[in-house]
């Protein structure tokens, strides 16, 4: 039996979107390939609210995150971490011999503008990474204040991991002055995994020119220069089938309307939060709770693996807590093309399993 | 109109294989995901003729080629190049600050065992890369003699790019002592682009342990350790839809029988070579001509772009020459699930366009 996935990616993909992947192959050096990649890039510019360049990569979001910190750090990177994916960005820097320091918020907490300002005032850093939405703790980091701080440090490249939030909540890349904003297919875009997408500002590209040993496959400058020269074609063979689905799904997303899409995500989030507060507790403070995934304190000491097995028999899957939050928390995602009814169906089923219904 | 692709990848994918990609998503941390990746890995071991480990990557073949030379070169790599993809491997080394030297054969020629022996006798190298099948020149490099030389240098990691040959011609990884053999989906496997696959020997893994700054996403040691610990699951979200198609298509490949599949590729190659010799000239010496793509000297000075436009109107696409061989050569691939009849149909159509039929 298929389980409806309420995990923080991959999530269910609509049948008509999946079917786009059955379209026949085209040559990746053809005009059709240029047209496809141009079309996708322009639609992504709308979703990212940016006029800057778009890069596509046959990799997971992790691939372009590594590409960003490695390609654009000439001196030293400040990694602001609110959980597992911040830690990963730091690990990527170190494993590439990129000088970096990590600044951590407590789990469930956010990075404040004051933290960022204090760190940048040292003058040691030319690149900053921030996790927008941390699926391990269900925290959505407010970007507005951080972006205001960054305005006072125009020499610093501002990189944001929006892997699990872009297309699910409003992120205005240009307005917030983000130089590199990274996302991937299998979260709020409602697409299958296998590709990452990023916006890159001219400033980020200029920064990369001063960096040696950027590698090849994930070198943002190599990708950027190539698509400029070759009419949106890439150095390596791209994941055509996923791009067919992406081009189609971006039309669906823009047809729904971005504001409507954000509202739907917020409504689903509110519904899960209300349920969580009634039956358990939210893991983060409510004001920082993510619009795309809710982390819930397991205040009843439920066996989460058992709960998930029971849900599995009823056609649903949720997530246990991440790392050392396993069993202490559990997570319900609400991203992509799910509706409020889908979420209500899940919550009713959990109530039924737990015998704590109305 | 769909054009039947006789370019050296991507090539046409059968409808039933494409349709596998419409299967619904599963959690990438589920037992189902482990089972899928275990199943693929075991079938790939059969195709690679290896008992060593298999790594899967959501990237093009280029991704794992970079991962190999970067992860496993502790001292210095010797890159043996017979064309564009050998040059790429060298570029990857340099862009990662991996010490490397490149040794080139003339275009259309092969790497001889004597060349390899002379280079390795210097004692400078701990890793060797060889392109098995060079699509830019239509040359298939004989591996037997090179592999015999490598036996005398047991400290050297032997890496082979079999991106455009694995599953189209016999490559016995363990018998030939290859430590890392890399391929990708969109060539002889008859799958859509977006994933790379490699075999890795225990020796390659041990070598990687002595290398610093291996990066993260393409670090072969990270991937290897992770799948050992996590029952075939990977650090980042894998390209599930392509894996559905791969698991299915590997059954089709094994059902056809590997020897039958090689024979079919050879028959198609022979047919194209005979046609090329009758009407043009082969670009490489016939004894080195690839079984998966034929490079043909444009002895008639035909406008290849025009020819391809004319073929396009008739539902076919071939490739111009690569780089500075453009217009001087053209290329016809014969890989994946095409039959002799498909190839004959193409050649008859070219004859018709060129008016040089029987």
Please state, rounded to an integer, the average pLDDT across all residues of chain A.
97
Name the pLDDT band for B157 (thresholds 50, 70, 90): very high
Report the pLDDT value the prediction gives residue B198, as an integer from 0 to 100.
98
Identify all chain B residues contacting A95, using CB atoms and an 8 Å cutoff: 213-216, 219, 222
Identify all chain A residues contacting B235, using CB atoms and an 8 Å cutoff: 62
Mark yes or no for CB contact B193/A237 under 8 Å: yes
Secondary structure percentages of chain A, helix, strand, coil, to 5: 45, 15, 40
pLDDT above 90: residue B160: yes
Instruction: Name B174's Cβ contacts closer than 8 Å, sequence gap at least 6.
Output: B49, B50, B51, B52
| pLDDT per position as a tens digit, B184-234 | 999 999 999 999 999 999 999 999 999 999 999 999 999 999 999 999 999
Taking residues A125-130, report their average pLDDT: 98
Name the pLDDT band for B235 (thresholds 50, 70, 90): very high
Mark yes or no for CB contact B194/A95 under 8 Å: no
Q: Residues of B numbered 312-351 whose beta carbons fall under 8 angstroms of chain A's beta carbons: which are they? A: 317
pTM here? 0.97
Q: Where are the alpha helices (DSSP H) in B108-239?
A: 113-120, 144-151, 202-208, 220-229
**Given CB atoms, is B30 within the 8 Å cutoff of chain A?**
yes
| pLDDT per position as a tens digit, A52-66 | 999 999 999 999 999
- ipTM of this complex > 0.95? yes
Quote the tokens at residue B163: 């991106």
Among A147, A149, A153, A197, CA closest to A172: A147
Among the partner residues B3, B7, B213, nearest to A96 by beta-carbon distance: B213
C-beta separation of B150 from B102 below 8 A: no
Report the pLDDT value the prediction gives residue A284, as an integer from 0 to 100.
97
Phi/psi-derived region of residue A194, left when phi > 0, alpha when psi is between -120 and 50, beta in every other case? left
Give the N- to C-terminal CA distance of chain A in Å, as an integer: 28
Domains A4-9+257-354 and A16-254 share a fold: no
Report the pLDDT value the prediction gives residue A357, as an integer from 0 to 100.
52
Give the residue extent of every domain in chain B.
4-9+258-354, 24-254
Number of C-beta neighbours around residue B267 at 10 A:
15
Taking the CA of residue A15 as centre, how many other CA atoms within 13 Å lie in the half-sphere pointing to its CB? 0
Among the partner residues B192, B238, B317, nearest to A193 by beta-carbon distance: B238
Whole-number Å distance between alpha carbons of A56 and A54: 7
Identify all chain B residues contacting A9, using CB atoms and an 8 Å cutoff: 237
Whole-number Å distance between alpha carbons of B67 and B218: 5
Taking the CA of residue B74 as centre, how many other CA atoms within 13 Å lie in the half-sphere pointing to its CB? 13
Whole-number Å distance between alpha carbons of B148 and B114: 11
CA A259 to chain centre: 18
Whole-number Å distance between alpha carbons of A182 and A69: 11
Among A188, A137, A183, A128, CA closest to A158: A128
| pLDDT per position as a tens digit, A280-339 | 999 999 999 999 999 999 999 999 999 999 999 999 999 999 999 999 999 999 999 999
pLDDT above 70: residue A226: yes
Mark yes or no for CB contact A25/B95 under 8 Å: no
Q: How far is B103 from chain A (nearest CA, A)?
A: 20
Phi/psi-derived region of residue A217, left when phi > 0, alpha when psi is between -120 and 50, beta in every other case? alpha
Q: What does CATH list as the number for A16-254? A: 3.40.640.10
Evaluate whether the domain defined by B24-254 bears CATH number 3.40.640.10. Answer: yes
Quote the tokens at residue B324: 């500075």
CATH fold, domain B4-9+258-354, is 3.90.1150
Q: What 3-state class would DSSP assign to B106? A: coil
Whole-number Å distance between alpha carbons of A142 and A105: 13
Report the pLDDT value the prediction gives residue B327, as an integer from 0 to 100.
97
CATH fold, domain A4-9+257-354, is 3.90.1150
């Amino acid at each position: 039996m298929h389980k409806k996935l309420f995990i923080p990616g991959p999530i269910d993909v609509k049948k008509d979107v999946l079917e786009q992947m059955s379209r026949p192959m085209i040559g990746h050096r053809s005009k059709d390939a240029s047209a496809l990649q141009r079309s996708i890039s322009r639609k992504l510019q709308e979703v990212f609210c940016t006029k800057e360049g778009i890069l596509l990569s046959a990799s997971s979001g992790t691939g372009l995150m590594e590409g960003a910190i490695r390609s654009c750090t000439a001196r030293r990177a400040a990694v602001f971490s609110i959980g597992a994916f911040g830690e990963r960005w730091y690990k990527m820097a170190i494993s590439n011999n990129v000088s970096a320091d990590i600044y951590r918020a407590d789990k469930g907490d956010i990075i404040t503008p004051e933290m960022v300002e204090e760190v940048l005032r040292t003058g040691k850093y030319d690149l900053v990474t921030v996790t927008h939405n941390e699926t391990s703790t269900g925290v959505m980091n407010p970007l507005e204040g951080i972006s205001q701080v960054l305005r006072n440090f125009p020499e610093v490249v501002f990189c944001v991991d929006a892997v699990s939030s872009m297309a699910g909540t409003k992120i205005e890349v240009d307005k917030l002055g983000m130089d590199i904003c990274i996302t991937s297919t299998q979260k709020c875009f409602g697409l299958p995994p296998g590709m990452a997408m990023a916006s890159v500002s001219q400033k980020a590209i200029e920064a990369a020119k001063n960096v040696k040993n950027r590698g090849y496959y994930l070198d943002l400058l190599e990708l950027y220069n190539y698509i400029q020269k070759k009419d949106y074609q890439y150095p390596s063979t791209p994941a055509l089938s996923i791009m067919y689905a992406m081009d189609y799904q971006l039309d669906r997303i823009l047809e729904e309307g971005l504001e409507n899409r954000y509202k739907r995500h917020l409504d689903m989030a509110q519904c899960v939060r209300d349920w969580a507060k009634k039956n358990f507790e939210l893991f983060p403070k409510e004001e920082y709770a993510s619009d795309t995934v809710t982390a819930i304190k397991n205040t009843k000491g439920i066996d989460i693996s058992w709960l998930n097995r029971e849900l599995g028999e009823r056609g649903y899957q949720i997530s246990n807590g991440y790392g050392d939050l396993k069993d202490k928390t559990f997570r319900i995602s609400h991203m992509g093309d799910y509706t409020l009814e889908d979420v209500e169906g899940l919550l009713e089923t959990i109530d039924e399993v737990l015998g704590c219904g109305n």
